[in-house]
């Protein structure tokens, strides 16, 4: 139960969607952990790679074009130990989200062409970026038929 509460705090601090009211838990005993999470999130936003920051891994997950950034890819592939040292609370969540974002980008790259008969590609991609992975996968399946 303790691990679940900490995970909920982590997700809330980076602004990820939770299908759960944040006030359902009593987090008073976790105020120190909450502050540590907020500080680590602020530090992630300061680590820039070209036009992207580590904070973008969470905030731009809808349309994760950052996943094609070579410097950021290299960070997650060959320098992950550095991430674990600098961001001990979020390192594993950063890596998992980055890995999922590569899959999501590939799906969006296909799905964005599903509605070209009624919308420009850019508009289709923008609209699809608000969908969850399952919905995008359904669009991809429809495109492939």
The three-class DSSP label of residue 1 is coil
**Tokens at residue 82, please?**
């550095």
**Number of domains forming the structure of the chain:** 1
- Write down the pTM of the prediction: 0.80
3-state secondary structure of 17: coil
Q: For residue range 9-65, what is the model confidence (pLDDT) as tens digits? A: 898 899 887 776 656 666 778 889 999 999 999 999 998 878 888 888 888 888 888
**Are 20 and 8 a contacting pair, CB within 8 Å?**
yes
Q: What SS3 class is residue 120? A: coil
Report the relative pairing of strands 48-49 and 52-53 from DSSP bridges.
Answer: antiparallel
Average pLDDT, the chain: 87
Other beta carbons less than 10 A from residue 31's beta carbon: 10
Of 11-20, 48-57, 92-101, 133-142, the poorest mean pLDDT is in 11-20
Structure tokens that stand for 54 in this block: 């580590």
Domain that includes residue 10, residue range: 2-144
How high is the pLDDT of residue 134? 94
Distance CA 80, CA 78 (A): 6
**What's the rounded mean pLDDT across residues 82-95?**
91
């Amino acid at each position: 139960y303790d691990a679940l509460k900490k995970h909920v705090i982590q997700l809330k601090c980076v602004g990820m969607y939770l299908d759960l009211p944040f006030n359902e838990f009593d987090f008073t005993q976790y105020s120190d952990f909450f502050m540590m999470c907020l500080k680590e999130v602020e530090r992630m936003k300061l680590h820039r790679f070209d036009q992207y920051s580590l904070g973008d891994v969470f905030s731009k997950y809808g349309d994760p074009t950052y996943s094609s950034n070579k410097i950021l890819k290299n960070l997650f592939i060959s320098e992950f130990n550095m991430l674990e040292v600098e961001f001990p609370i979020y390192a594993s969540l950063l890596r998992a989200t980055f890995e999922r974002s590569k899959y999501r980008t590939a799906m969006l790259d296909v799905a964005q062409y599903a509605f070209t008969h009624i919308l420009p590609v850019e508009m289709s991609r923008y609209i699809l970026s608000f969908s969850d992975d399952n919905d995008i996968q359904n669009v991809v399946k429809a495109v492939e038929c």
